[in-house]
Chains A and B, each alone.
Chain A
């Protein structure tokens, strides 16, 4: 109906093909999210403070007896770290959703799965990794037997990466909801169970003096699967949330 409008003399703006540049986009997204998180220090510190406080409560609430604490320490440390990581997940996409950046992220001529993965990587670097590095310190407080500290940190570093990836799917699904926090926990916690079993198992095995490689290998395998599948699930979930 409007073919008459486009006269031959009128200039035509070139329509160009996608430029690619995925690496540039990934790099910029990593840098941007890092910068934003580091400017809101409170949000980075919250999970760490939560982790420390919860662990402090156990000797007070149960018993300061080192032998008793040493038995439950691996499980406690893992559960507390898992909850601390979960606590920080709700805000992963929320501010982007509220200020319209998420809409723009979805419209970028780049694969959404890769951009989502960059955001998750920042989350892990500023939540999971610090939790893993802090855990041995809190282990001292729970009289964790020596020799298991390195395994604790390593298992948490591997495990929290899976937790961030799995949790990001839940965060993407609930980003459009006003109070998504509780629903997020309900969605994500059941999926955290395998990671918790093998993570705490690795520390337990280190205390017993058994080989830890099997446990760590399974944690690595879980991470590999999460890395393979989660980015697509995150992308699909974000699309659903935005379309709703």
Chain B
């Protein structure tokens, strides 16, 4: 079964203002879709709607041809969403944070897997430091470690490059391209120019 997320006649209103109207989107395997637009144009709102978090919108969402709310469990099992807040607990170490995320997806996982994922985002040596003592960029890297740790086909990333250094940005961009060329799909908002992405599609808002 392939992967396909469709939106039909999507519209969303905030404070008597239409953020977007009549939006049709088809997102399929192997694509990187970048949502563009100025601040306040509804990028985050669109990502939240497409990841099934909001319900106050008009239009329909389809996941692999079925209405999204009917196959929500299946959709969530294939979704990895990273929002503005990294979702990292300051009181837990990176390893403990990842262990919880791995368990949420229903796998026990092993310590080695989590250590590997952390070293891949450049956090080797910080495994047992409470996340609250790490920098904003390092905390975001903990969240990004979930990309390799819990493999999901659909990535929805809201400003994933925030607080990441230049080297990390290049690595993450390469990871997005690799994910798309392996048949996954990426939905992303960013103000950063994605240069290395040959399969980039743009959706302009506002």
Chain A interface residues (CB < 8 Å from chain B): 1-3, 5-6, 10-22, 24-25, 27-29, 32, 35-36, 39-40, 95, 98-101, 103-110, 242-243
Give Cα distance in the complex from A3 to B187, angstroms.
17
Chain A residues contacting B104 (CB-CB under 8 Å) are 25, 28-29, 104-105, 108-110
- Residues of B contacting A40 with CB < 8 Å? 91
Please state if B87 and A104 are interface contacts (CB–CB under 8 Å): yes
**Chain A hits for B76, CB < 8 A:** 18, 107-109
Q: How far is the CA of A1 from the CA of B2 in the complex (A)?
A: 17
B86, A100: Cβ atoms under 8 Å?
A: yes
Contacting A at CB under 8 A, from B88-108, are 88-92, 96, 99-108
**Chain A residues near B91 (CB, 8 Å)?**
35-36, 39-40
Q: Is the CB of A99 within 8 A of B88?
A: yes
Known interface pairs A15-B2, A243-B55; A35-B96 also in contact (CB < 8 Å): yes
User: Count of chain B residues with Cβ under 8 Å from any Cβ of A?
Assistant: 53
**Does the CB pair B87–A36 fall under 8 Å?**
no
Structural contact, B153 and A13, CB atoms closer than 8 A: yes
Comparing B10-18, B23-31, B114-122, B162-170, the segment that makes contact with chain A is B23-31
- Interfacial chain A residues near B102, Cβ < 8 Å: 28
Using CB atoms and an 8 Å cutoff, list the residues of chain B in contact with chain A.
1-3, 24, 26-31, 51-56, 64, 73-74, 76-79, 81, 83-92, 96, 99-108, 153, 181-185, 199, 201
CA distance A221 to B13 in the complex (A): 45
Nearest 9 Cβ contacts at the A-B interface: A21-B106, A100-B85, A28-B103, A13-B183, A100-B87, A19-B106, A18-B77, A109-B77, A11-B183
Chain B residue, CB-CB nearest to A103: B83
| A36 to B100 CA separation, bound complex (whole angstroms) | 12
The number of residue pairs between A and B whose CB atoms lie closer than 8 Å in the complex comes to 148
B30 pairs with A98, CB closer than 8 A: no
Q: Do A99 and B86 have beta carbons less than 8 Å apart?
A: yes
Name the A residues within 8 Å of B54 (CB-CB): 243
Contact with B77, one of A11, A16, A27, A103 (Cβ below 8 angstroms): A16
Besides A2-B26, A6-B29, A106-B53, 20 other CB < 8 A contacts? A2-B201, A3-B28, A11-B29, A11-B181, A11-B182, A11-B183, A12-B3, A12-B30, A15-B64, A15-B74, A15-B153, A19-B77, A21-B108, A22-B106, A24-B107, A95-B89, A100-B85, A107-B79, A109-B73, A110-B106
B81 touches A104 (CB 8 A): yes
Report whether A21 and B201 are in contact in the complex, using a CB–CB cutoff of 8 Å.
Answer: no
| Chain B residue nearest to A19 in the complex (CB) | B106
Residues of B within 8 A of A99 (CB): 85-90
In-complex Cβ contact of B103 among A5, A25, A36 (8 A): A25
A–B Cβ pairs within 8 angstroms, 22 of them: A2-B27, A5-B30, A5-B31, A10-B30, A10-B183, A14-B1, A15-B64, A15-B78, A19-B107, A21-B103, A28-B99, A28-B103, A35-B91, A98-B85, A99-B89, A103-B85, A103-B87, A104-B101, A108-B105, A109-B76, A110-B106, A243-B54
Which residue of chain B lies nearest to A115 when distances are taken between CB atoms in the complex? B104
